[in-house]
Amino acid sequence: MTSVLILNGPNLNLLGTRQPEVYGRTTLADVEASCAAHAEKLGLDVVCTQSNHEGALIDAIHAAKGVHGGLVINAGAYTHTSIALMDAVASVELPAVEVHLSNIHAREEFRHVSYLSKVAVGQICGFGAQSYLMALDALAHRFTIS
């Protein structure tokens, strides 16, 4: 069964505990459980990881090569700053879908820039926890046509 790594970056461990007006009341554990249930329906395996550390996220991306068939990444604020994460995603040559809970294009200008978009197959943002499920749909479809 094809496996997908779902990677969450800095501060996403706080999901559901603060700023519910921006990020909703769903916790990261809820998001991960929904992803696991949705992946099962799609015939995919998922592994979920979260880190607040850029290097740990890069290590997880490197380790995905040969293990996972694709990546779903919410890199949090590193989306807007990290050339290192962008290079890591490019280096593993796995299809990566960039996700965000909020619509980053409707927010502050500094959130409109995404280094990850340059190497991702696509970006899904603004649909809350549903963004992750849409990313899994996109990868499942890609796996069936390739």
**Catalytic residue set:** 23, 100
Q: Does 12 bind ligand CA2 (CB under 6 A)?
A: yes
Binders of ligand CA2 among residues 60 to 89 (CB under 6 A) are 74, 76-77, 79
Q: How far is the CB of 68 from ligand CA2 (least distance, A)?
A: 21
Please identify which residue in 11, 34, 52, 117 interacts with ligand CA2, judged by CB under 6 A: 11
Please identify which residue in 35, 101, 133, 135 interacts with ligand CA2, judged by CB under 6 A: 101
Contacts (Cβ under 8 Å, ≥6 apart) of 10: 51, 52, 53, 76, 77, 78
Dihedral (CA of 134, 48, 70, 87) sign: positive
Q: Does 15 bind ligand CA2 (CB under 6 A)?
A: yes
| CA-wise closest residue to 112 among 96, 120, 100, 128 | 100
Please identify which residue in 102, 121, 127, 142 interacts with ligand CA2, judged by CB under 6 A: 102
Q: Does 38 bind ligand CA2 (CB under 6 A)?
A: no
Q: How far is the CB of 29 from ligand CA2 (least distance, A)?
A: 13
- For residue 10, give the 3-state DSSP assignment: coil
| CA-wise closest residue to 75 among 32, 111, 108, 44 | 111
Nearer CB in complex with ligand CA2: 64/129:
129
Dihedral (CA of 102, 104, 108, 111) sign: positive
Tokens of 16: 């559901």
Binding footprint of ligand CA2 on the chain (CB under 6 A):
11-12, 14-15, 18-19, 23, 74, 76-77, 79, 100-102, 104, 111
